[in-house]
A = this chain, B = another copy of it.
Amino acid sequence: MINIDYTDRTPVYEQIIKSLEQLIVLGILKPDDKLPSVRSLGVELSTNPNTIQKAYTALEARGVIYSVKGIGNFVADKDIKKKKLKEIKNNIKELLSTALTYGLSEEELDNWLGEIKEDINKN
C-alpha cells in the first residue's frame, strides 16, 4: 500500500508520513485501525525501523495517530481530511498569486483552470 521512491529527494520518513495520511484520508485506514508494526513495515519497505519510528512519532505529534505502549500504533483523527483540503487550498492560492505577479492575466488564468479541469477529468 505504501510506495517509497528512493530517487526522490524528499526524505523517506516524510514519504511514509504522506502515504499514511493519504490512506487515512481516503478511508482505507479508519479510526482505531492498527497500523503495521515498526519492524514489519521496516521489512516491507526494506528500510530502517528507525525511519518508520520517526514517521510514527511525527504523526503522533500531529495527533493523526496514537500509540499504546507494548501494543501498537492506531489511527486517531477523523478530521485530517479537512486539514489536508485546507492545506491544498492554501497552496493553490499561493501558486496562483505568484503566477499573477509573474504577469499572468486573469483571462489566461481562467483558461488555465479550464484546461486543468479538462485534463483531470480525462484521467
Contact = CB atoms under 8 A, between A and B. Distances in A.
Interface string A94-119: 01111111111010010011001101
Chain A interface category by residue count? 35 or more
A33 to B, nearest CB: 14
A43 to B, nearest CB: 17
Contact of A95 (B9, B11, B88, B103): B88
Contacts of A113: 113
Looking at A112, A113, A119, the one whose CB has the most chain B CB atoms below 10 A away is A113
Given A11-B69, A76-B7, A88 B99 contact: yes
Contact of A96 (B69, B99, B116): B116
Contacts of A30: none
A64 interface: no
A52 interface: no
A78 interface: no
